[in-house]
Chains A and B, each alone.
Chain A
Amino acid sequence: MNQVSKRAKWFLTAVALVITLLHLIPYYILLTTAFKRAGDFSSKWLFPEYFSLENFTAAWEQANLSNAFMNTFVITFFAAAMLILFGSLAAYALARRQTRLNKYVYMLFVAVMVIPPLTALVPLYQLVVDVGLMNTRLVAVLNNVAAFLPLTIFLYAGFIRSTVPKELEEAAKMDGASTIGIFFRIVFPLLKPITATVLILSCVYIWNDYQFAIFFLQDSDMHTLTVALASFFGQNTSQLGLVGAAALIASLPMIFLFLFLQRFFIEGLAAGSVKG
Chain B
Amino acid sequence: MDQPLSSTVEAKKGKKAKKRRKESSLWWMYLPSVLLVMLFIVYPFLDGIRISLTNWNGFSQVYDYIGLEQYKRMFADPDTWLVVKNTLLYGIGSTVLQNIIGLGYALLLNHHLKVRTLTRTIIYLPVIISPLVMGYIWYFFFAYQGGALNDIYNWLGLDPVNALGNPEVNPYIIVFVNTFQFVGVAMIIYLAGLQSISKEYYEAANIDGASSWSKFKNITLPLLAPAITINVVINIIGGLKLFDVIVSLTNGGPGNASQSMSTFMYSLYFARQDAGYAATQGVLMAVIILVLSLAALLYLKRKEVEA
Contacts and interface: CB of A to CB of B under 8 A. Distances in A.
Q: Do A and B come from one complex?
A: yes
Interface of A: 1-2, 4, 9, 12-13, 15-17, 19-20, 23-27, 29-30, 33, 41, 43-45, 86-87, 89-90, 92-94, 96-99, 101-102, 105, 108-109, 112, 114-127, 142-143, 145-147, 149-150, 153, 179, 183, 204, 207-208, 210-211, 225-226, 229-230, 233, 238, 240, 243-244, 247, 250-251, 254-255, 257-259, 262, 265-266, 269-271, 273-274, 276
Contacts of A19: 105, 108, 119, 123
26 contacts: A1-B110, A1-B194, A17-B115, A20-B122, A23-B125, A44-B151, A45-B151, A101-B25, A105-B30, A105-B34, A108-B37, A108-B42, A112-B42, A121-B265, A127-B43, A146-B41, A149-B33, A208-B129, A210-B130, A210-B131, A211-B243, A225-B130, A226-B130, A251-B129, A265-B124, A273-B193
A251 B130 CA distance: 7
B140 A44 contact: yes
Interface string B192-221: 111010000010001000001001000000
Contacts of A30: 137, 140
Interface in B156-211: 180, 185, 188-189, 191-194, 196, 202, 206
B143 interface: yes
Interface string B16-48: 000000011111011011101101111111011
B103 interface: no
A99 B23 contact: yes
Given A211-B244, A226-B132, A270-B192, A16 B40 contact: no
A25 B196 CA distance: 33
Contacts of B140: 26, 29-30, 33, 44, 240, 244
Contacts of A1: 107, 110-111, 194, 202
A262 B121 contact: yes
Contacts of A225: 130
- Closest CB pairs A-B (n = 5): A90-B30, A146-B40, A208-B130, A270-B192, A123-B47
B128 A258 contact: yes
B266 interface: yes
A20 B136 contact: no
A119 B25 contact: no
A45 B116 CA distance: 27
B269 A125 contact: yes
Nearest to B262: A118
Given A97-B26, A208-B129, A210-B132, A119 B40 contact: no
Given A16-B109, A262-B121, 14 more contacts: A16-B116, A26-B138, A26-B140, A29-B141, A90-B30, A93-B29, A97-B26, A114-B294, A120-B47, A122-B269, A122-B279, A208-B129, A230-B247, A233-B136
Nearest to B293: A114
Nearest to B189: A273
A233 B196 contact: no
Interface stretch (B3-11, B284-292, B299-307): B284-292
B225 interface: no
Given A97-B24, A119-B283, A204-B128, A145 B36 contact: yes
B285 to A, nearest CB: 5
Nearest to A211: B243
Given A127-B44, A255-B128, A122 B111 contact: no
Contacts of B105: 19
Contact of A120 (B202, B244, B282, B293): B282
B133 interface: yes
Contacts of B132: 208, 210, 226, 229-230
